[in-house]
Amino acid sequence: MLSGEEFGRLFETFERTAFRLETLAVYDVEEEREELERFLAGGDMGPDWDDNPWVRSMTNKGKEVSRVHVLRSPLTHYLRYELAAYPGNIAAGESIGIIDLAEHDVSGLPDHDFWLFDDRAVYQMHYTPEGAFIGGELVSSDEIAKYQGYRDQALAAAVPFSQYWERHR
Residue 49: CB atoms within 10 A of its CB come to: 17
Domains, the chain, with CATH or none: 4-140+149-168 (3.30.870)
User: Each residue of 61-98: pLDDT tens digit?
Assistant: 999 999 999 999 999 999 999 999 999 999 999 999 99
Task: Give the full edge-to-edge strand order of the sheet including 17-22.
Answer: 133-138, 121-127, 114-117, 17-22, 64-71, 95-100, 159-160
User: Each residue of 17-74: pLDDT tens digit?
Assistant: 999 999 999 999 998 999 999 999 999 888 888 999 999 999 999 999 999 999 999 9
Residue 125: pLDDT band with limits 50, 70, 90: very high
| CA-based end-to-end distance of the chain | 36
Would you call 30 helix, strand, or coil by DSSP?
helix
